Amino acid sequence: MEYTVTVFLLLGILPLLNSMNSSSSSAAHRCFCQVTGHLDDCTCDVESIDAFNNIELFPKLQKLLESDYFRFYKVNLNKPCPFWEENSHCGSRNCAVNPCKANEVPEGIKSSSFKYSEEASNELQECEKAEKLGSVDSSLSEETRRALLDWNRHDDVEDRFCVVDDEESPDSQYVDLLLNPERFTGYKGTEAWQIWNSIYEENCFKPNTVKRPLNPMERYREKDGRSFYRWLEGQCVEKRAFFRLVSGLHASISVHLSARYLLDDNWFERKWGHNISEFQQRFDEELTKGEGPKRLRNLYFLYLIELRALSKVLPFFKLPSFQLYTGQPAQDQRNKELLLEVLHVAKSFPLHFDEASLFTGNLQEAAKLKEDFKLTFRNISRIMDCVGCFKCRLWGKLQTQGLGTALKILFSERQIEALPKSRSPNPTFQLTRQEIVALFNAFGRISTSIRELENFRSLLSKVH
């Protein structure tokens, strides 16, 4: 009890709770009335996550994501939609993505995305000192070159929860994530709803007889969003978790768009900031027929899942052979130290989600359910290529790949624990640079969403 009170005081939530109690009809109360206390299927509570994220983890994580290794993401934004004909694209200039020019990407990142070998790293540094970057590959020993090729060719498709882009495709380009931030672009309406409708209706284990509230793609409307969630109560914990992950991802994206909304666009400036009305439209209990606050609770559930993955993958990043390689040795070493610090902070959280509760019971049925889980999430990752707004597509692909990587980590616990003892040059668990960049940036988006909720709580406490 004392811990919870301390958390409330640190975050300044007690005064807000008192004001909400005195005015139960306030906008803050309608959005956050259920976003408190214990989370279903977890041993954690909302307040503990707020304190941990906003005070301990968020600042360090943001600093890490500003580094060269994590800001450049290679993506193919020109892949055709595999499910329906998609001819229209967002015409707003806010939808545009500005890819990097060749000289804007650090040479170490371009020369290879997989240089985790300490031997390769040392040899490359010698090459750089000799200013022979153009002949990096030929300067490596034959043994090292074979190891790098084996790593490049490592086929872990069976372990992946996402369909990933071919980095060697001429359509794949590096994007500077800091110069292409996720924010409101104006992409909404029927096209945007078609994306989420395909995800929820066809890829969330939801019975066809159950309709989502506020869904313009369906004629049938639920009178009360609370009744929509009743179908989840009878589902197994795995299917409930899957739906809540998707809903949490949707909620996180909605928070970003509301927090970085185009408030003013004129000849002199373009002003981005918090749009309270947009946030209410997405999360107000009355405006969403009771669904909005549940979406926010699912955001916290998603946070716990990805936080757990970061705590589990620490042995991989602690390997001496792992390098955050950009071609700047001193900076790369500092960034690895910061990365390990972030992971140690993640591991220190006392109320982690217990993934041991998933896929238990009958081994055959559990294996089948896990495979369904994986294939369904892969399908969702493919739907991201149907998003008409290129900036939305960029961040949608990155965040689904990040969540898919987190799931891959959680289901590879034994392989990760065996890494420190393994002497194999090709360990059974590996992560590509793209997976690493997606994993941390996706969690960075969720961490930012949790941080932004504190801002919206404050802003909405003044609205009735």
Least confident of 157-166, 176-185, 198-207: 157-166
Least confident of 127-141, 203-217, 316-330, 377-391: 127-141
Assess whether pLDDT exceeds 70 at residue 336: yes
Q: How far apart (Å, rounded) are the C-alpha atoms in residues 220 and 211?
A: 7
What is the phi/psi pair of residue 118, to 5°? -65, -35
Least confident of 111-125, 233-247, 313-327, 339-353: 111-125
Least confident of 70-79, 270-279, 422-431: 422-431
Least confident of 199-203, 226-230, 365-369, 421-425: 226-230
Instruction: Return the DSSP state at 115.
Output: -
> 43: helix, coil or strand?
coil
Rg over alpha carbons for the chain, rounded to the nearest Å, is: 23
The single residue listed with the structure tokens 């071609």 is 327
Assess whether pLDDT exceeds 90 at residue 108: no
Least confident of 162-176, 356-370, 403-417, 429-443: 356-370
Residue with the bigger pLDDT between 223 and 295: it is: 295
Assess whether pLDDT exceeds 60 at residue 217: no
> What pLDDT was estimated at residue 157?
56
Distances in Å between the Cα of 59 and the Cα atoms of 55, 56, 65, 69, 338 are 7, 7, 10, 18, 11
Q: What is the mean pLDDT of residues 76-83?
A: 90
pLDDT band at 214 (very low <50, low <70, confident <90, very high): low
CA torsion sign for 184, 188, 193, 198 is negative
Instruction: Round to the nearest angstrom and report the end-to-end CA distance of the chain.
Output: 31
Q: What is the mean pLDDT of residues 223-247?
A: 78
Q: How far apart (Å, rounded) are the C-alpha atoms in residues 247 and 105?
A: 34
Residue with the bigger pLDDT between 359 and 380: it is: 380
Report whether 306 contacts 352 (CB < 8 A): no
